[in-house]
Every structure is written in C-alpha cells, then in structure tokens.
Structure 1
Amino acid sequence: MPADSIADSERIVHEPSREFVESTNVWQFMQAYDIADYDELIERTTQEVEGVPDSGVDWFWDELVDYLGIEFYEDYDTIRDRTRGPQFDEWYKGGSINLAHNVVDRHAAADSETRNKVATIWEGEDGEIREVTYHELARQSNKVANYLESVGIETGDTVGLYMPMVPEVVSILYGCFKVGAIAVPIFSGFGVDATATRLEDPECSVLFTGDGFYRRGSEITLKGTADEAIADADTDVENVVVFDRLGADIPWTDGRDQWWADAVESQDDAYDTKELDAGQESMLLYSSGTTGKPKGIVHTHAGVQMQTAKELYFGFDLKPSDRFFWVSDIGWMMGPWTLIGNHTFGGTIFMYEGAPDHPEPDRFWAMIDRHKLTQFGISPTAIRALRKKGDEWLEGHDLSSLRLLGSTGEPWDPESWQWFYEHVGGGDTPIINISGGTEICGCFLMPMPINSLKPCTLGGPGLGMHIDIVNSKGESIADTHERGFLVARDSCPSMTKSLWSGDERYLEEYWSSFEDLWDHGDWAQKDEDGFWFLHGRADDALNVAGRKVGPAEVEGAAMEHDDINQATAVGVPDDTTGTAVVLYVIVEDGVAETDDLRDEVRAMVGEELGKPFRPREVLFVDEFPKTQSGKIIRRAVQATYTGEDLGDMSSIENPGALEDLDDAR
C-alpha cells in the first residue's frame, strides 16, 4: 500500500463543527445529565461509575423510556429480571406496551400534530410516487388487524410477509403488532427453498404476498414462488393475501387466495390495539444464511422499540423535518429497524422499489435530490459499485439536503469510504458506519454524530451497549490495540430472547465461546486514538502457518492495484501451511486478465501483509455471489473452490455467479 494511502486510512478526516455538535440530540442528552465528553458518555451508559448514581446499563435503559417519550400502557415493575443470567434477562418486566401504539396510533390521534404528516414516501422503479400520512397508515393498519382477527389470528400466532417493497408492507407489519401476532418478514428475493423454510419453521398460517415488483425494468413475479414454497413447506398456510402491484397474470388457489382489495380494504378501519406484555414476541427475523442454516431470531415489543428508537434518535440525530432512506428490503433487519425507529418519533421514511442503477447509475442521487432526503444508508458493496460508474453521474444532482450518511453489512475499504464521504456527503457529512446484527435488531458499534471520524471506523460502542474486545481466553485486549473477538459483556433489551428452534442452539451459537460473554463472531480492534474497527468475521479468519489475518485485509491489499475493481479472499486446505489464500478478483473495465496481472496482485498482497498471505492463486471472475443486501457469500466461494457441499444458497441474489466461480478454476 502506498504511504499516502496508509496515511489517508489512519488520519482523522471528519471533524464536526461546534455548531453542528451542539445541534445534535446526543449533545442535548449529555447536557441534561452533565456528561462532559464522548468517553464519559459511553462509560456512564455502559458501566456503573463509582459515586455516580446516574450510570450503568440499567440506569440508561430505564431513563431512556421517559427521555424518548416511549409510552407503556402499564409501567414495568423492574427494569430487568436477571434471575436466569445475561443469556435470558427479562427487560421491562411487568410492563405492558405495543409497538403499534408508539409508531402509528399516537401519531394519528385526532389531536396529534402529526395526524396529517407524511409517514411514508414511496417511489416505484417505474417512477410512480405515493405518500401515506399517519392517519392513512393507522386506518390501513387497523384494517390489516381486523382482517387477521377475521381469519382467527391471535396473540402469539405467526404471519408471513413475502412482500414487494410497497407502502402496504408498513401497514401489514403494524397490523401484526396491533393484534399481537408475530411478524415473519421474508426477503422478496428469496427462492422457493428459503421461503418454504421461513413458512414451515414458525408454522405461518397466513401469508401476505404480491403478484410481483419491478427490477431493472423487468417484472419479477412473486406469487408463483410463494405457491411453490407453500407446497414444499410442511405446514398449513390457510390464507394468502395478494397485493396487486403489476396487474400480472398469476396462479391462483380458490378458497385460499384473496386479493388485498377484497381481504383487507373491505375491513373496518377502527381497531383497539392490544395491550401486550413487554416481553411478548413481536417479530421473528431470520439470519440471511450466509454462514449456515438460517436462525430464527426472536424479538420482543419492548426490546425492539427501545433499541431502534435509541439508535435513530441519537446515532442518526432524527429531527421532525427529516426524510430518512436506508436501502433495504423488509425481509432484512434494516427494514423494520428503519420503520420502527423513525415512526416512533413521527418521522418520515422513504422507500424505493427497484435497482440502484435503473434506468441509469444516478437513480439514488436523483431520488435524494428529488425528495430532499436527509439521511441515506447503504452497504459498502453498493457504494463500490456506484463509485466505479464514475463521478459524472453525481453531476447535476443537489445532495445538500443530506445531514448524515449511514452504512452497515461489511468492512469498508478506505478509498470507497472516502469517495462516499467526499462525493456524496460533500466532505462535511458524517458517515455513521454501524455494526450489530439481526440478533439485536440494532448495533453493538456505531459512531455518534458528535465524533471525529477516520475512514472505515465504527466509532465505538453504542449507547447502553457494554462491548469489549477479548482474546481467546476471554481477557480484554481493547486497550492493547490488538485484534480480538467482539463480545458483549452484558445484555440489552433487544437481544434475542432465544432462537425459535430453542435454547440449545441459542446458547451454542452465542454464549459457548466464553463464560457469560456474548460472542458476536467478528474480529475487532481499537486503535491508539480510540477508534474501533472491524476486520470481518472471526470464523472467516485465514490461519496460514499459525498466523491469522481477516479476508478483508487481503482483499483491501489486492484492491490497491489500479486494475482491480473488487476482490474476495478465502482460505483453502494446504499441505504445507495448513491453509492457503485463494483470491478471486474482478478487474476494471477494459483491463486484460493476464498472468502478469496475477503476479502483480500476488506480489502486492505479499508486500502489504507478508509472504505467508501471498495468494496461492489469483482467479478472475465477473461477479461474486451476493445477498440482496450486498454481502458476499464467502462460504459459497470457498465451497466452490474446494468442491464441498454449498449448503443453503437461498440467500443468493445472483446464482449465475456460482457458474462463474466454477469456470475460474
């Protein structure tokens, strides 16, 4: 890596102005509790400080209820019951609440100032635009609730959402909350097997779906896949509600299938939202399956409410006039996270149906300009792809409405982070780079908007999140600046109460590595200046001759070559070193795939990381297998090379990439 690139990746590039800092919600919180600086903020909200009664995890999550104006029907008896240990803490015990009350009912009340405020702006890929007010959202959510009760859905029953990204998906989610049903969002890009798994495991008896949606100008149909999944699932889906997005000719089962207009729109628009126990399940979110069999992650009403509200209010500095856009499907955690977190405060969210580069690569920039969006969240992979399209696509689009940028899903490379910061954010808009997961419907790590930033940093622990970096013995090494395992030393309200499949797998997945520590499975590091960074999944670590490195580092070194667009590194068996590095790369447009280029890339990685990590092979491909959210499925890359069973490939968006990998051999 050239010296100037090293300097760029290690220096502070964003310094918020004093005026901006003092305008933020988190700064106001600090003033209210006499907190001097960021370090004290993290300490006070995550640890019990000697001599300071207003400190600690319990204090913070208790104080936050009133501070953020979260409404419980009945107050809780205790902030949490710790009888069963951190693995099974019960938060807000004795209280009653309903997400739907906080995110829609109170904002649509007759005397509310937000009754006629726009809750959702939606743009279809074909250019259609719709706006839904809180009053309209409440009426439609009530209709969904009445429909669900008309077909026998009760508290604790599961309801599948295999939906296109249309505004109605919001009312379906909130309608489920209203009746106490457990919503099961399913990614609209999933095929038959993945959809069947997510219907069968929770035994959904009702499924909401659509005839399809638009993607890169083509009609993508859902109903046929839904029907096949229902047929394959070993459970009885008795009622299917179909939203008409395309007017497409679709398969139909009389007696089971109903159009949205007939099933939902015909219902009464009044409904008394149920009061539910704070620990009542609200959603069942499945992991994407990139690391093995998907896990059913169980979230509660109070837990999801508190975590999402905290993160949007403080981390993304939510203001009443904001228009928030995070690129996600309802089937991924960031979909519900965006909706619940923003709508808790009567905010406006933006939804987009289609592809980021249709009809041209400036689609996102045009929508930010057109709708005056204020927060924009996207994956690093998507930014890398848009960056390669060229700076000229940003020209002519006014992005000055943006106040904060966001990202999640995978490690950044410094060059793409810097491009996002300078070209999209104008060189003065902070990137709130967050990392947590479906398991907590939120973030373990996230910068605050008051923080200075280095490229790629995740800032530090989230508020109220007692996070650490440990070695293989579970000993803290955060302040030694060594790389180690990212863990949680305490629970939080939104931490999954278990897995749908039971406690045994839950304990094995998250609590078996260290005593009373949640092992999140990521490599993390805190540098000498206090900035936290992630280095990919710990279980993806490349252990070459006893030396370990994260694949993201190998990939970053390879992408320093001017002719390399993207890279993915995997470890494969080697007789000499135990594991050898194999590197798949995508070259820049117009670059020849030559043996000389392979040698140059191998040499560059070796010079940067040391000879042991010099790739044994460099293979050229046109694309990598990815999920819709942009995550590269390394397990598929590795298994294709070694000839192992690919396992569950239900989360893959581009199955043709697997053939490309095969051809590269």
Structure 2
Amino acid sequence: MTQPAWTPSQQTIEQSRMVQFMKKLGFSDVEEFRKQSIQDVAWFWEKVVQDLGIHWTAPYRQVLEKADGIEHAKWFVDGKMNLAYNALDQFLEDPISRDRVAIIYENESGKHDEWTYQQLWGEVNKCANGLQKLGLQAGDRVAIYLPMIVENVVAMLAIAKIGAIFTPCFSGFGADALSTRINDCRARFLITADGSTRRGKVVAMKEEADRAVEQSPSIEKVIVVSNIGKDVSMMDGRDLLWSSVMTDMKPLPCHPTDANDPFMIIYTSGTTGRPKGTVHVHAGFPIKAAFDEGYCMDVRTDDVICWVTDMGWMMGPWKVFGTLLNGATIVLFDGTPDYPNPGRLWELVGKYQITHLGISPTLIRVLMKQGESWIEAHDISSLRVFGSTGEPWNPDPWHWLFEKVGKKQVPIFNYSGGTEISGGILGNVIVKPQVPCGFNMAIPGMDVEIYDEEGQPVRGEVGELVIKQPWVGMTQGFWQDDLRYLEAYWSRWPKTWVHGDWVQMDESGMYYITGRSDDTIKIAGKRLGPAEMESVLVAYPGVVEAVTIGVPDADKGEVAVCFVVVKAAPDHSSTEFSLEIGNFVGERMGKALRPKVVHLIQELPKTRNGKILRRVVKAAYTGKALGDISSLENPQSVDEIHKLSMVFD
C-alpha cells in the first residue's frame, strides 16, 4: 500500500466546503456521504443545486427522469433556468458580489486588465443585444474561434443568455479542423480574432477563419475581435468588427431556457471518423463543474483560479462556468507558461495571488528540467491547491511539483473524467489523504465501478472504469448522431457507461489510472497499462518524456515499443543508450515485459495544453489512419515517428 504524501489538517477538513455541505445533510464521514450520493443520485444532485443557490425561473417537477432509458436521462424536468443568470446576473443583486473581480486577463506580452462581475455583465449584455440584432435566435449555433481573451468568455455567456448554442474551437486549429466543426453543427455565425501571438510569433487567425468559411456554407456572419491590431481583409456584408456589435448597453433578460436545453456543443477528437460533438445543457455541465471545483477542490468566493488550457478543450469552459457559479475569480492567460522564460507561470501566481493552479503532468515535466531557481524567484505562497488533469502522472514529476514547488504543503487535486462527463469521475478531494499519482475517491454523485473482461467487479487488478447511474453533466449525446453515442459508451454492458480508462483500486481504496483501455498492451497474456512502463522509462537518468505502445508480435501476441525524449544526446551511441534503457525496464518490470525496442526521438505529439497523444504515436508507427490530429501543436513530430514506422498486417 502506498503511504499518503499529504494529509489534510483538521482545520482544513472542518473549514472545507465539502464538510460544511455534508454537515448540513447530517453526515460526518465523507465515505458514508459518498455512498449515500450514489444510493440516491436524484437526492444528491438536488441537494447540490440547492446549496449552490441555482436560480430557477420556473420550478422543475421531477429531479431525474429515465423514461427514455438511462442513456438519455433528463435532469430537473420542466425546470426553467439560464446558466448566464446563475454565472453572472445573480451577483449584481449584492453590492459586494458585483464589485468582486470576475476575470483577470494577461497576454503573452504582459498586457493585463480585469473586469468585475458588474463590468462583465455589461459586456455580456452588449454582446447579447448585438447578436440578437444580427438575427441570432434561441437554438442557433455560433462557432467561437478565439484565443484566451475576455471576449471569449463574453461571447459564451452572451450566446447562452439568449438561448443560442456555442461551439468553442481550439485557437490553434487550421481551416479544415475548424470547418469540420462548423459544418457538423451548421453554425450561423463565427466569432474570431485578427490574430494572436504564440512564443512571440503572430498567429493569423482571421486568414485561417476565412479559409474555413469558404468550406462552410452555413456561416452568415463573421465577427472579428481586434486583438493584436493586425490588418485583415473584411468581406462586405459578411464580416463585421466586434466593436460594432458592442453598442447597445440596455439590460437584456435571460432567455427562459429549459434545464435540458443545449447551450454548448464541444467536440472531442476521435481515433477514426469525424470529431464527436458532445451536447451539454444549461442544468448539466455548469452544475457539475461548479460542484467539482467548489466542493472537491474547495473553491470559495475569495479564490483565484488559473488553469493552463484553451477554450476549445473541456477544461476551458469548465474553468469559466465552475468558477463563475462559485462567485470566484478567473485568470485568463493567453500565452505560453514557459515564455519568455521558464518562470512565467510562477510569476503569474505571485502577481495575481492565484490560489488554485491547474496544470498537466507534461507541463510539469517541461518545467522541472529548468530547475527550482525559477520558482524561488517568485512568491507563490498564495497557492492552496494544484489541479491536474489530461493524463496519468509519473512519480518523478509528481514528487517534484509536490516537494519542490508546493513544499509538501499544497495538495495535488488529481482529476480525471472527460468532455462527455462535464468534469471528473475520480478525484483527490482535499478532505482525505492523498497518495502520489493516485486518486483518493470517486467524485460524489458518480456511481463508479471497475469491471473485468466479463463485467464483474475487481479489486487489486486493472479493469475497465464504468459508471452505473446517470449524473448531472452527462452529455445528452453526440450532435445529431445518437447511434454513435450509444455505440461509444453504452454498447458493451447493459445500462453501463464504459469510459475507456484502465483503472486499479488498491486495498486502501486509492485509484490509479494506467491508461486508456484501447491502449492496453497484452504481452504473453500479461495485461499492461502503458503508463506503468512509462513511469519506469522516465525514471532512467536523462529521459524526460516517454510513450509506450503495443504492436503485434508473432510469438508474444504483442510487444512493447517505447519512444523517449532525452535531455541531451548520450555520450555514446544512440543504439547502446536505447539498449541500456530497455534493459533498465526489463530489470524493473521483469524480462518478459522488456520492450522490443526503445526509440530516441526529438519530441512527442502533443496538444497545446501538453497532453501527449499516444494513439497518434501508435497510428503513425503502425501505418494506420491517424484519425483527427487537428489538436496537435507539433504535427512535425508525426513525421519523425513515420520514419521509424513498421508496417503491420
């Protein structure tokens, strides 16, 4: 059993929002509370919305309805509410709340600004009025292709306010990826920017947007934010400036949306076929995000939240709605966390007194190479919680963050779920001890189990992560593709959501994710999660990052092939160094699991928020279709793997 690395103080436990919520409901033990949360999920989520103070313009008649099956469960049936009111308008009723800072913004060059809840409300009203005058109506779709600037948040809230639906798109997309999403949801409007900067270089977003619109016949208007002052072409009758939309300041009431009306379609990349448009509703995603952030991460009104992400990824909207529904402050950073120097992220923490900082293991692996001097140059004592999502941890970067950055005082809220979940399935609630790289419980309200290949619960061995009951925030399906949704999550076992993660629970109740179940390697009958081998690889001196994939083998069925990035070129041949690494893995894991080959490469395929795409590595190496790679920040990395590739039948 792994020993806890961090244990909350009694004061931390007693003052936490989770424990205060539990006590209101008559619970003193968090495990008993979690058990009750899944024995009666309707009871639990109703108590959550009551405690969050969710405002209803018309009451719901039933908390949970499963008339169309668990796969299409409805929450707060016939209730009327609008997320924009709950995230923004409600705070204007209190003088203290309306003057609280809602958003702090800083870009790559250091320009910064801030908006109170009242100021943000004014901007959202102007945007909503302008969009309505252009003819946007409830149910219409709008694609948002913007960097991490305040206009991104304003647009999302304004679109939701009038009952329309937005599709947030990754700011690094090319025209083809953008048009795919526009065409799938048949967006009427596109909101974009003249450009942005990335490591000091201009990213020409309007030109890319124009190319996308050429392939997107549904687009009627293109609204352009002047972000960097770049001259761009504007098509008469179609294109207009953001400033020309933002002219009418009169208060606009929120559209009386139904609890189950969509407000967002956010796309996830698939291994094959077009991206999946997950549909999220007003009384779903925002409530799940607000609960996970507010109660599990212990976010309060005086806290400041920064998550290194893009609005095109789930954690972007999650941060916006989770933070605003909790009445806290968002830091929007439109830049690179290690530019112009490796201390940039820690500088932000000190400057804005960030309390909750969201990162990825890959980002920490990058920053730890630069040493601790960049941290020590800044006062980061405001930090209360680290957030982490996107991929499993390896021990070394976890310990570096916990010990060198957090000085063993700041817990790491390891968090795993997905775009379809609206937040987390597993987490590290701060009222329980935490172990390195693991999760200390399933999030309350999530009825989680681990199944073996026969669909039976298992402990102490790796199995398939499943969810047995619906939850608030569960996607309402894929946009106009219900069959694909059912096949993706509900087709393996009856009335059971199969998430696609391999998970193991130890005897102490701690969870560990070993990788995606479709990444699992079976070597001579032994099942291996790639993250397990990757942790050994990065423990070898000089190895910075690693990916392990399984490839067909005539003798063993499958063998492991590894790709590693090293700090510097080895002082002897690459072939010898690769053999040394392979032997090291064999010594640690057993000769039967020794990798077939270890390749030294320059970089691994990553998204902008640092997530390594293992499936792309495997597809490139085995000669299979790459699937959707539009989220890649470094597509050239695929070419390097192609050159090493082997062709398999």
Q: Give the TM-score taking structure 1 as reference length.
A: 0.95
CA distance in 2, matches of 1:20, 1:453: 14
CA distance in 2, matches of 1:289, 1:630: 18
Q: How many Å apart are 1:345 and its aligned residue?
A: 2.4
Query: Against the structure 1 CA distance between its residues 503 and 662, is the aligned structure 2 distance closer, same or farther, given a 3 Å change threshold?
Result: closer
Q: 1:211-249 CA distances to partner (integer Å, 9 max, x unpaired)?
A: 11121111111011111111123x321100000111112
- 1:655 is aligned with what amino acid? P
Q: How many Å apart are 1:101 and its aligned residue?
A: 0.3
**Aligned residue number for residue 331 of structure 1:** 312
- 1:271 is aligned with what amino acid? L
Query: Against the structure 1 CA distance between its residues 112 and 82, is the aligned structure 2 distance closer, same or farther, given a 3 Å change threshold?
Result: farther
**Aligned residue number for residue 92 of structure 1:** 76
CA distance in 2, matches of 1:421, 1:29: 28
Contact 1:327 1:377 in 2 (8 A): yes
**Aligned residue number for residue 187 of structure 2:** 204
* TM alignment of 1:433-512, pairs within 5 A: 433-477=414-458, 480-512=459-491
Q: 1:159-210 CA distances to partner (integer Å, 9 max, x unpaired)?
A: 1100011111111000011111111000001111111111000000101000
In structure 2, the gaps of 5 or more residues are: none
Equivalent of 2:616 in 636, 639, 662: 636
CA distance in 2, matches of 1:294, 1:404: 33
Q: Structure 1 residue 661 and structure 2 residue 645: aligned?
A: no
Contact 2:450 2:465 in 1 (8 A): yes
Q: How many Å apart are 1:291 and its aligned residue?
A: 6.6
CA distance in 2, matches of 1:275, 1:96: 6
Query: Against the structure 1 CA distance between its residues 316 and 552, is the aligned structure 2 distance closer, same or farther, given a 3 Å change threshold?
Result: same
* TM alignment of 1:201-600, pairs within 5 A: 201-233=184-216, 235-262=217-244, 264-289=245-270, 293-477=274-458, 480-592=459-571, 594-600=574-580
CA distance in 1, matches of 2:625, 2:569: 35
Q: Secondary structure at the match of 2:285?
A: helix
**Aligned residue number for residue 51 of structure 1:** none
Q: How many Å apart are 1:251 and its aligned residue?
A: 2.9
Contact 2:269 2:628 in 1 (8 A): no
CA distance in 2, matches of 1:193, 1:572: 31
Q: How many Å apart are 1:20 and its aligned residue?
A: 1.4
Q: How many Å apart are 1:614 and its aligned residue?
A: 1.4
**Aligned residue number for residue 44 of structure 1:** 36
- 2:345 is aligned with what amino acid? F
**Aligned residue number for residue 119 of structure 1:** 102
Q: Structure 1 residue 59 and structure 2 residue 43: aligned?
A: yes
Q: How many Å apart are 1:610 and its aligned residue?
A: 2.6
Deviates further, 590-599 or 371-380: 590-599
* TM alignment of 1:126-145, pairs within 5 A: 126-145=109-128
- 2:23 is aligned with what amino acid? Q
Contact 1:290 1:633 in 2 (8 A): no
Q: How many Å apart are 1:663 and its aligned residue?
A: 4.1
CA distance in 1, matches of 2:385, 2:627: 39
Q: Percent identity?
A: 39
Q: How many Å apart are 1:145 and its aligned residue?
A: 1.1
**Aligned residue number for residue 625 of structure 2:** 645
- 1:545 is aligned with what amino acid? A
Contact 1:473 1:514 in 2 (8 A): no
Deviates further, 32-41 or 540-549: 32-41
CA distance in 2, matches of 1:546, 1:354: 46
Q: How many Å apart are 1:317 and its aligned residue?
A: 0.8
CA distance in 2, matches of 1:69, 1:102: 8
Q: Secondary structure at the match of 1:61?
A: helix
Q: How many Å apart are 1:573 and its aligned residue?
A: 2.0
- 1:644 is aligned with what amino acid? K
Q: Structure 1 residue 168 and structure 2 residue 148: aligned?
A: no
Q: How many Å apart are 1:597 and its aligned residue?
A: 1.5
Q: 1:448-489 CA distances to partner (integer Å, 9 max, x unpaired)?
A: 111101101122111111111111122111xx3221000001
Contact 1:290 1:651 in 2 (8 A): no
Contact 1:120 1:350 in 2 (8 A): yes
Q: Secondary structure at the match of 1:534?
A: strand
Q: How many Å apart are 1:629 and its aligned residue?
A: 2.1
CA distance in 1, matches of 2:209, 2:535: 40
CA distance in 1, matches of 2:294, 2:128: 28
CA distance in 2, matches of 1:603, 1:269: 70
Q: 1:637-662 CA distances to partner (integer Å, 9 max, x unpaired)?
A: 11222222323221111111112223
**Aligned residue number for residue 613 of structure 1:** 593
CA distance in 1, matches of 2:74, 2:239: 39
Q: How many Å apart are 1:598 and its aligned residue?
A: 1.1
Q: How many Å apart are 1:424 and its aligned residue?
A: 2.1
CA distance in 2, matches of 1:269, 1:443: 38
Q: Secondary structure at the match of 1:113?
A: helix
Q: How many Å apart are 1:501 and its aligned residue?
A: 3.3
Q: Secondary structure at the match of 1:302?
A: coil
CA distance in 1, matches of 2:272, 2:536: 24
Q: Secondary structure at the match of 1:114?
A: helix
Q: 1:29-72 CA distances to partner (integer Å, 9 max, x unpaired)?
A: 2222232322112112112xxxxxxxx21110111121121111
Q: How many Å apart are 1:108 and its aligned residue?
A: 2.5
Q: Secondary structure at the match of 1:474?
A: coil
CA distance in 2, matches of 1:237, 1:634: 34
CA distance in 2, matches of 1:558, 1:354: 30
Q: 1:75-109 CA distances to partner (integer Å, 9 max, x unpaired)?
A: 11010111122101111001000000000111124
Equivalent of 1:183 in 159, 166, 179: 166
Contact 2:441 2:511 in 1 (8 A): yes
Q: 1:243-282 CA distances to partner (integer Å, 9 max, x unpaired)?
A: 01111122321211111111x2223342111111110001
Q: Secondary structure at the match of 2:91?
A: helix
Q: Secondary structure at the match of 1:80?
A: strand
Q: Secondary structure at the match of 1:96?
A: coil
Q: Which runs of 4+ in 1 moved over 6 A?
A: none
CA distance in 2, matches of 1:315, 1:284: 25
- 2:642 is aligned with what amino acid? D
Contact 2:420 2:474 in 1 (8 A): yes
**Aligned residue number for residue 53 of structure 1:** none
Contact 1:443 1:462 in 2 (8 A): yes
The total of aligned residue pairs comes to 644
Deviates further, 179-188 or 287-296: 287-296
